[in-house]
Structure 1
């Protein structure tokens, strides 16, 4: 079954107002509830457990839409309006993923819950991007609230997914292939920081200042000898490695959150994921704006 990448849901540009923010949020919630409801109507009656999951998800997103409307009324004294949209909101519930589940005779309630978890992870990534790119404090604060809500929703959905997996295991189904050992986050962070140091040699002081504030591994002050940039590849190669490793780390922290066995591990992984996604957004900004000196 298809899984669309989580880190390709960045907004096309920064969100400039609360009116635009609420319009995006309502569009996404209504799109999700509509697509879930369509699956309830079209699913084979024999897949009762799968249908039931999508019925629940439909109600969850309808309630989310109502909450968004109330938030907009409280903040702006008006309902979210699609006229405030400057671009088509990012799709966090891809139709292809949903159709794969409903059209497969092998789909189970576990598959449906797992997909729902992924959708809320995608929402978390999207709203974290929005918050990190926002220049308006109000937009940033509400986007962070939406990101936290996505995390809380994800935790509840993971519980349902675990119960469905337990039920599936007890019924005698094969547990599937083992998950391969993940890359070392510590090693990737070290390699990323090394490349950021090299990259910073070709950036403006203002851009270096941005890099010095990136968590969880900010660029340190330039107080130690720097490696010769010529020994590490071209500037373009270094820039590509920076973005690739930053994206790998964001995916890795999201996967760690998904596998967390206790609340402490989950909260730590989610914090690192949020920081890493915000870092990736800033690095992409710097990469697109950087003026490269002639070699």
Structure 2
């Protein structure tokens, strides 16, 4: 599990520098509108996914992010009407905003493993990347008009990030309020046996019986090994394990990866890393089988 310091204020960077220059207000506002619309659509899709999974509290987080982005869309639209006397047009081919919006694979992560803090944190980093994008445009703009407009967009994104940081901070302290139990004893042997049982059940219901049974046998062997020789060092802090097969496999892979980095002895870290390799491969196979 990735530990994020709530007080870390290092600005998120773009994964790559924009390759296309913006030469007119038409292009600038078209790109701005496209960026805001992409954010709104991606957050809306995540909200629907959380709703379908029964994560109502998270669907409300993403619904609010959609409302935030809708407000940004209206701001860009009003600005375009004032300056250009028409709505923003679709961006020209080659307007490169790749690396600005990133949902950090939330659409692939099991809903049970996502929480409000992580959701707000992703949104904050997206605003910070948008700030970095417009700062880059401002620094390389071909005219004072473009540079000033890009600076305005950068300031807007910075204000948006500040608003979202407040929500992220609230979620952080809500999850870490005094008296809240954040460490639970993880009986890895029992969890691996639960994976084994689930896989055996799937084998009885699916055509790929042998693949499920091979994975089930592997999980049983891991369970027996952990029962006779548990990981001795203090375990990493971990949330309550989920119970769906996909999410449980992902949780165990994530747990072993973290244990491989943070357990105290080298022997324990090596063992956890070996388990992580098995668990990551297992997760990929389970998801492949479920998609067939």
In structure 2, which of residues 65, 68, 87 is the aligned counterpart of residue 79 of structure 1?
Answer: 87
Q: Is the 8 A contact 2:23 2:142 kept in 1?
A: yes
Q: Give secondary structure in 2 for the equivalent of 1:79.
A: coil
Q: Normalised by the size of structure 1, how large is the TM-score? A: 0.54
Work out whether 1:138 is the aligned partner of 2:138: no
Q: Normalised by the size of structure 2, how large is the TM-score? A: 0.54
- Relative to structure 1, the CA distance from residue 173 to residue 129 in structure 2 (aligned partners, 3 Å threshold; closer, same or farther) is farther
- Matched with 1:93 is 101
Q: Is the 8 A contact 2:18 2:96 kept in 1?
A: no
In structure 2, which of residues 113, 116, 125 is the aligned counterpart of residue 118 of structure 1?
Answer: 125
Q: Is the 8 A contact 2:14 2:100 kept in 1?
A: no
Written as runs of structure 1 = structure 2, the 5 A alignment for 1:267-278 is: none
- Matched with 1:293 is none
- Matched with 1:165 is 172
Written as runs of structure 1 = structure 2, the 5 A alignment for 1:218-233 is: none
**What is the root-mean-square deviation in Å for CA atoms of aligned residues?**
2.4
Q: Is the 8 A contact 2:53 2:111 kept in 1?
A: no
- Matched with 1:58 is 66
Q: Give secondary structure in 2 for the equivalent of 1:98.
A: coil
Aligned length: 173
Q: Which protein has the larger Cα radius of gyration, Structure 1 or Structure 2?
A: 2
- Relative to structure 1, the CA distance from residue 35 to residue 69 in structure 2 (aligned partners, 3 Å threshold; closer, same or farther) is same
- Matched with 1:21 is 28
**CA–CA distance in 2 between the matches of 1:17 and 1:86?**
14
Unaligned runs of 5+ in 2: 5-11, 184-292
Written as runs of structure 1 = structure 2, the 5 A alignment for 1:193-212 is: none
Unaligned runs of 5+ in 1: 176-295
Segment of structure 1 superposing worse, 162-171 or 62-71: 162-171
Q: Give secondary structure in 2 for the equivalent of 1:97.
A: coil
- Relative to structure 1, the CA distance from residue 91 to residue 71 in structure 2 (aligned partners, 3 Å threshold; closer, same or farther) is farther
In the TM superposition, what is the alpha-carbon distance from 1:73 to its structure 2 partner?
1.1
- The C-alpha deviation readout for 1:222-256, integer Å capped at 9, x for no partner, is xxxxxxxxxxxxxxxxxxxxxxxxxxxxxxxxxxx
Q: Give secondary structure in 1 for the equivalent of 2:142.
A: coil
Runs of 4+ with deviation above 4 angstroms: none
